[in-house]
Chain A
Amino acid sequence: MQQSIKNDERKPKQKKQKIDLVKNKPPYLDDIYACLQCGYCNSVCPVYRETGWESLTPRGKVFLLRHLTTKDSFFDKILGKRITDYLTGKGKISLEEAMQKIFTCTLCSRCQTICHVDIDFHQYWLEIRKWMVENGINPPQNSMEMYKSIDKKEFMNPFLEPATKRDEWYRDDYQLPEKADVVYFIGCVTSYNEYQLLLNTLKVFTSAELDFTTLGIDEMCCGAVNTMTGQWGNFKKIAEYNVEQIKKRGATKVVTGCPGCYRALRKYRKFVKFDIKILHTTEIVADLIKNKKLVLTKEFKEKNLPILYHDPCELGRIIQYEGKNLFDAPRYILKNIPGINDFLEFSNNQMDSICCGGGGGLKAFNYDLTTDMVLRKVDEAIELGAKTIVSACPNCKTQFSDGVKLKNEKIENSEEKVKIKVMDVLDIVAKSI
């Protein structure tokens, strides 16, 4: 009932705001017209691979945008738009539907690797979503709720979890200093869903005697979800708040284990003065190992070998596009774990890595689709003979864990069930201390 009242309230507002996409041109209009419609992107798009709908491919979405933003043609002018539309079968399409199509995407940016005319898709999709929201086309309901949840003081995360619960997993066991050189920015997924990873990271940092602290219950969602769903309204506020909290700790470095947070933190620099060094946990741990500050002794259990490394899109390809190489750090760590001489890779790796489905906020919007995506990855892992899937992203970890679980649910015979562990690089490091 509450929802319906809300909808009723919103309707008159929408009527006042006339959406004119032709006049309010989208950013990167040249890219929209440069698109050759060659369909190369279809061959790499994980969403298209699972659904098979042209409307869910980068090519289809660009075509839609072109259709939505094209001016009246010659015949529109002489025959009238309605008649031409009728004769040609073209004309108006539902904006709601177009929004749904454009948001059905994990923002993995694999399309950029193959684009014939070099469209910067990793920025392009974000900017298009932003443009749509600015023009009054609402994003999916779930992501609007996430936005509101982040905005509220009692939550400060997208999952409607109480802010006071953010440090409940470690506050009793770790007495962290108020000020430190390094701030560990935990991130919402790690804080609330992947507590094992959180504890392992703390264990690693402590045993390396790193001078670090966390933001505790003062941490606010990094805002990545908002940027992904085009809702930039409160991003500056988030940036200001988090930067202030980090500065309060007197830190010179901020480190995070979540590639989403990592990229969002980098974006803060556009909004606030933020000259603190931003690192991913794999970078700092690789450094600690290199400098022999972190000594790894315990052998990795042989029954969990071989391990298979999955490149998270945001930590690999997208960061590469943003000018930083983070392919090597996690691989360096894995090679230095006692008992791991070699590890497997997915046949599509590094720049060509295929998304697990956990990105882009798609999970909240179309869960079934993302499970199809991860199941394909799990199938490949089984084919490669992997016993452990390793990643360096809490979202990927959750997604793969769900994938393995789902895979096993489908297998009735208990002997045939898949025994694949899903771990983060930091989990493995913690185990070998």
Chain B
Amino acid sequence: MDDLPKDAESSNIKLKDQIVKSDIYKSLAEIVGEDRISESKLDRLLYSHDVAPLPKELSLLFKIVPDIVVKPRNAEDVSKIMKYAVENKIPVTPRGGASWTFGGAVPAFGGIILDMGSMQEILEINKENLYVTVEPGVRWNNLYENLLRKNLLVGAYPSSAPGASVGGWVNTGGVGIGSYKYGGINHLIRSLEVVLPDGKIINTGCKNVLNNSSGYNLNDIFVGSEGTLGVITKITLKVFPAPEEIRPTSYSFPDLERVGEAILSLTRTNINPLHIAFLDGSHFDLLRELDKDVPSVGAVVNIFFSGDSRIIDIEEKKTDEIMKNFGGKKENKEFAQHEWQERLFESKARRLGPGLVVGESFCPVSSIVDMIKRSQVVLKKLKMKGAVVGYIADSNTALFMSYAVTNEHKLVKNMASMALVKKLADESFKVGGRPGGFGLLFSGNLKKIHGKGVYVMDDVKTAIDPHYIMNPGKLIENSTRFGIPLPGFAMSVGMNAMAILKRILPADKIEVKDNATEHKK
């Protein structure tokens, strides 16, 4: 820090920075011990990103590198840290698995990173009352496997299960694989242990029974809060008896629009599969570029059933008929099994860029065909190579997770590619849906979705976190590091400019370099 240029920022700030920093370290070390805390630049850098490839230039707008990283052990630690942070007005950003693409766990104003991902114990598996209590850092695949060994099933899990933490999924209000049958995370939570910004530790529900009686439902306030209201330190989820069988089936179609029609028809019956996913043929084309052994198809829909084998038999037969009506051809068991194993690995095409942008948006199943067409047009207009993929979250919600390959080595083109997220979000509004998360860049959409409801959200935030230290810069208050607010329309103007730029720039090409797979031969 000694060799800082003087003209960068006034020396006052530099001095303040230094004093505050060392003070933070000393005080926090007293709480958690020196081995659970780090302020080395190397460690801090690693907490300045998530899956989204944020360009270095973005950190001119936001202070995405935290000042200190802390690994708390339990709620008491977090409580003490929160009290300290409030006293000194230091921003606190809780972080789980950091497997989201919106930068929700990336600080906007530096400060303290609470690495909740390091709290990975499964505390209690209660078979009698069908619940499991876990620490927030437990990864979904580990929870899934551990429960399956005890003949239990976690209802739904994210499509990034190995990377996503339970706490993170609560904070992003996730839906995922199994949501069609069991609902999103909000349907699975029995109770949460939350540390509020003032240091209070509360339990939000009852671990044995539903929360559906009168009284404000505190569980749901924290679902999708992106860490802006408190730090979740324990989660109790309801679990289900493991099914007799999980049976994947796959159908191939001439094109994705037919898939949309078939899915619409299927969701209007009483067939209740575990999961319905659809994939554009171009997804398989991209995989073939990576030398993967996948067939050339127009589009694929994967339907996973779970439950008693005899009931699945009936459901499968009925599904076969529906799919056949829309021109679907049933693929063999090996293909379906392969698709089941690949259900968590949908972003392999990144290697082709290298780079990947994912646009997450919800749309009504009733207009799924419309949205499919629109998404394909967006990809075409932006001259990007990608695929329209997604899954059905409930009987009238389709979650589109369309992606496109970019090239991170090309600054301008890569930045312009971010326009895909915005454009897909716009299309989802047009068909009566909504974009996925907000995170660091897209909180402007919040008002578009909730209207005046945002003021109520603001009131809730102010009541719980009057000092605005819990993950500031997310959801409610969107501004850059120098206090310049970033209103939704400015963001959208910027994003539209990028979209225009992307349309002017030459089309994306994918070149598979020889040396990329050199050592695999």
A residues with a Cβ closer than 8 A to B are: 28, 30, 33-34, 36-40, 42-44, 49, 51-55, 60, 63-64, 67, 73-76, 82-84, 86-94, 97-98, 101, 114, 116-118, 120, 123, 347
Contacts and interface: CB of A to CB of B under 8 A. Distances in A.
B99 A38 contact: yes
A178 B411 CA distance: 67
B42 A64 contact: yes
Given A63-B49, A82-B5, 4 more contacts: A34-B351, A38-B99, A42-B139, A123-B519
Interface in B1-23: 3-5, 7-9
B119 to A, nearest CB: 8
Given A39-B98, A75-B57, A89 B348 contact: no
A44 B97 CA distance: 13
B117 interface: yes
Nearest to A93: B42
A43 B118 CA distance: 11
B480 to A, nearest CB: 12
Interface in B29-87: 38, 40-51, 53, 55-57, 59-60, 63-65, 69, 71
Contact of B97 (A28, A42, A53, A84): A42
Contacts of A89: 44, 48, 59, 63-65, 110
Interface centre among A36, A64, A101, by most chain B C-beta atoms within 10 angstroms, is A36
Contacts of A82: 3-5
A28 B516 CA distance: 7
Given A39-B99, A42-B117, A89-B48, A52 B71 contact: yes
Contact of A93 (B45, B51, B53, B120): B45
B162 A44 contact: yes
B163 interface: yes
A97 B40 contact: yes
Contacts of B162: 38-40, 43-44, 114
A75 B141 CA distance: 40
Given A83-B8, A94-B42, A74 B57 contact: yes
A55 B350 contact: no
A37 to B, nearest CB: 5
A42 B40 contact: no
A59 B46 CA distance: 9
Contacts of B455: none
- List 8 tightest A-B contacts by C-beta distance, closest first: A52-B118, A89-B65, A39-B163, A88-B59, A43-B139, A40-B162, A34-B351, A33-B354
Given A36-B347, A36-B356, A90-B65, A52 B59 contact: no
Nearest to B50: A37
B117 A94 contact: no
Nearest to B408: A33
B40 A116 contact: no
B460 to A, nearest CB: 30
A73 B56 contact: yes
Interface in B100-124: 110, 115, 117-120
A52 B117 CA distance: 7
A75 B56 contact: yes
Contacts of B55: 73
B452 interface: no
B142 interface: yes
B59 A38 contact: no
Contacts of A101: 42
A34 B46 contact: no
B interface bracket (residues with beta carbon within 8 Å of A):
35 or more
A372 to B, nearest CB: 12
B56 A88 contact: yes
A325 to B, nearest CB: 19
A120 B345 CA distance: 16
A233 B355 CA distance: 36
Contacts of A86: 4-5, 8-9
A120 B350 contact: no
Contacts of B53: 37
A183 B149 CA distance: 44
9 contacts: A43-B142, A44-B162, A52-B71, A64-B45, A82-B5, A89-B63, A90-B59, A118-B351, A123-B519
B519 A52 contact: no
B214 interface: no
Nearest to A123: B519
B348 A39 contact: no
B160 interface: yes
B310 interface: no
Given A52-B118, A89-B110, A120-B519, A67 B45 contact: yes
B515 interface: yes
A28 B454 CA distance: 48
Given A38-B99, A83-B8, A54 B47 contact: yes
A34 B354 contact: yes
Nearest to B53: A37
A42 B46 contact: no
Contacts of B409: 33
A38 B160 contact: yes
B520 interface: yes
A62 to B, nearest CB: 10
A75 B411 CA distance: 11
B180 to A, nearest CB: 23
B513 interface: yes
A94 to B, nearest CB: 6
Contact of A42 (B5, B49, B163): B163
Contacts of A93: 40-42, 45
B20 to A, nearest CB: 14
Given A83-B5, A117-B351, A55 B46 contact: yes
Contacts of A42: 97, 117, 139, 163
Contacts of A44: 162
A82 B516 CA distance: 33
Interface centre among A28, A64, A87, by most chain B C-beta atoms within 10 angstroms, is A87
Interface centre among A83, A89, A93, by most chain B C-beta atoms within 10 angstroms, is A89
Contacts of A97: 40, 42
